[in-house]
Each structure stands twice: as C-alpha cells, then as structure tokens.
Amino acid sequence: MKFLKYIFIILTYLPLFAGNGSVYSRFGYGELINTNSARRLGMGGLGSAVTDAANLGSFNPAGWHTINLMRFDFGLNYQGINASTTNNSTYSADYSFSGFTLGIPVQKDYGIAIVGGLQPVTEIDYSVVEELSNDIIGDYNAYYKGNGGLSKAFIGASYITPIGVVIGGSFDYFSGKIEYSSETEFRSGVNLSNTKFTNQLKNRGAGFTAGIMTPDMSEFVSLGTIKDIRFAASLSYVSKLNADTAFITSSPAVGSKVTDDATVEVKIPMKLAFGLSFKVNNRYLIALDYLHQPWSKYEFNGSKSPYLRDLMKISAGMEYADRSKKFGSFWEQMIFRCGLSYEQTQYEINNEGINQYSIHGGASFPISPGNTLDIGLQFGIRGTTDSDLIKENIYRATVTLSFGELWFIRQER
C-alpha cells in the first residue's frame, strides 16, 4: 500500500529535524501530550465524547465503536516556542513523529473494534545556556539540556452493551529514555577541565485506559435540531514505573565514569476526563471537555516535587461538516474546526502557577473516499515574566494522514 512508502520516507528523514521545546518540560516527566490527532487538536485538544467513523484519534477508547473501515493514522507535529523574560527572548522549533494507530472493525452492530498503536505521551526537550563569572575561576558558560520522554504501545477494543452504553479500554505499555545534562565550559583560559554531568533514566511500566460513553440521548429527550447528544468519561492509570538511573561524570582529564546507578520507582498520577458532544442541524458538532490529573501526587523514588501541582484543562470546540453531500465536490467534502482551551498546567515555579490559554483551528482535506489529510493548529500563551519566570508563545501544528480501506470481505458463493 502507498501509505507504507510514506511512513518509510518520514521515519528516514525525521532525525534530520531538531530543535527545542518548553523550558518547563524540565519538571516532572515533561510536557504532556494529550492528543496526537490533528482533528482533536483543531477542536481544543481533547474530545472525550466525540465519535468519528473516519478517524482513530479519540481521547476515549469508547469512541472507537463507530469505525466502519480498517483505518491507519499517522502524522507529524511541529512546535515553535517564542520564550521571553523581562530582558531577552528566543525562538526555537521542534519537529516530531506523532505516532501511528491501526484500527480494525470486527462487528459493526455491536461496535466491536480492535485498535492498537504507538504514541508519545510526554516530551522533554530544552536547552538553556548561562554566561556566568566568578572571582576565582573567571568567566564560564553553564549549559543545561534535557531530552526524551515517555511513549506508549497500546492495544484495546470497544463494545456497545445491550443497553446501548458504549465501553472501551486498552492495555498500555510505557517506555522511554530521558536524559538531563549540565556542562561547564570555562572561557578565561584557567587550568580547569570542562566537566559534564549526565543523569539518565530508562523507564518501563504498564497501565490501562478505560472509557464509557452514553448512547444518543436525543432519542429520549427532544431538543429540536440538537441531535446525537453524548456524555462520556475516561480514566488513564499507570502503575508505578521502574526507572533505571545512571549518573555519569565526563571530563577530558578522566573520561566518562558512572558514579551512581540504581532502579527507582516513579508514581504517575491517574488522569480523569469528562466530555459532552452534540450536533446542531447535523452540520455543527460541538464538544465540551474537562481534564484533571493531580500531579501534586507525583513521586520519584518516594519524593514529591515542589514544582508540580494538580493539572486542570477545559476546552470547547466546534466542527462544521456538510454531511448531506457525501459525494460532493472537493470543497463540499472539506471539514472545518475551531476551539478554545484553558489549562492550569502542572507547573508551579517560585510559588507562581503556570497557566496556558489557547485558540485552535483546523481542517480536513479529502484525498479519496475514506482517506483524508487532517491539519490541526494551536496558538497558546503560557506562563508569565513575573517572579523571574519565562513566558512562552506556543505555535503548534499537527498533520495527520488517515487512510481507510475495506478489509475482510467474505465472498458470496
């Protein structure tokens, strides 16, 4: 199939792109990635109660029950950050692979679908340099870098119960390498060797995601042009991660030496999400969502972080699609999206909470029946320059290719 060729090209050239993410990703386990779907990003970034037969990007595994074709989704993320303090500003950019998802409808009447894939969950990507001076050693530069994150491989299914309530769940396996480093570079010609300290974490652990969604509530309550009313909830749980740690000291004089290595436990807090969706005139899809994750309960080797608090996100989004013209022209088949979101992030630095406000937009372009190119856009403002902190203007774009094909057709004899 042609999309396998596209995947090979992307994976071949992706390492050529490099950049930096948010400085705040230094704390906890990095910046959280709540959606890998361009469609969901364009509507605010969540979509717990949204069902979409042409996309696997549901935040809630119960939303998989409507897919009617074998589907394969994959894409790319772009994130640019303009970080500023009271005196300076800088712009950095980062390209990343947003993962892939494969979904197979097994029994359409019962909403049974099997879905699996590989997706990033958190991202750490920052680089900071300070020009410092000391009366004894003179001028020197201090470099602080971090990269890596967590990814999950998952497989799950959805099912419509006899009472019409949809349930879904997945088994999730988490893994990923994280590396923090600090390096001193002397600029005054003193007889001192540049020294680098690196802390490596290799993570692994298991968890699950469970979701529930009501049937169409407009069948029980008549609200005129408002149809397909659905409430939903989902829960994501991670058992304690095992992190193999290694502290490495490097210098030209002594080379590299591992001074400490151990396996520690990491406690990742449970994530809860609630959503509502409905359609107006069968053209406008409205979605409202709430997300909560108590990062104040995060623990690394039994210790909590003073820089983390409970995360809370609220989003609202709208999608416009002319569903009455399934085989219309190119422009008639296009789908448009917009949204707003507010996020009380998990970061709290210098007793100052870091909040984020974002606007979203996007569109889906038809390629052929069942196949689309989806684009999601986000502009956000995070943080403040007060209390010697950093304010970030975030520019994010996600491009997803979604392919659908009809498989497993039984031949009539």
Is it the case that residue 226 has pLDDT exceeding 70?
yes
What pLDDT does 222 receive? 84
* Whole-structure pTM value: 0.88
Q: Which helix (H) or strand (E) holds 6?
A: helix 2-13
CA distance 183 to 402: 43
What are the structural domains, with CATH classification, of the chain? 2-405 (2.40.160.60)
Residue 16 reports pLDDT greater than 80: no
Which residue type does 37 have? S
Residue range 312-325: mean pLDDT, rounded: 90
Chain centroid, CA 342 distance in Å: 16
Tell me if 206 sits within 8 A of 171, measured CB to CB: yes
| Percentage of the chain exceeding pLDDT 70 | 89
SS3 label, residue 193: coil
Band of the pLDDT at 284, cuts 50, 70, 90? very high
Cα–Cα distance, 361 to 212 (Å, whole number): 27
Taking the CA atoms of 369, 370, 372 and 374 in sequence, report the sign of the dihedral they define: positive
Question: Sorting pLDDT into bands at 50, 70 and 90, what band is 410?
Answer: low
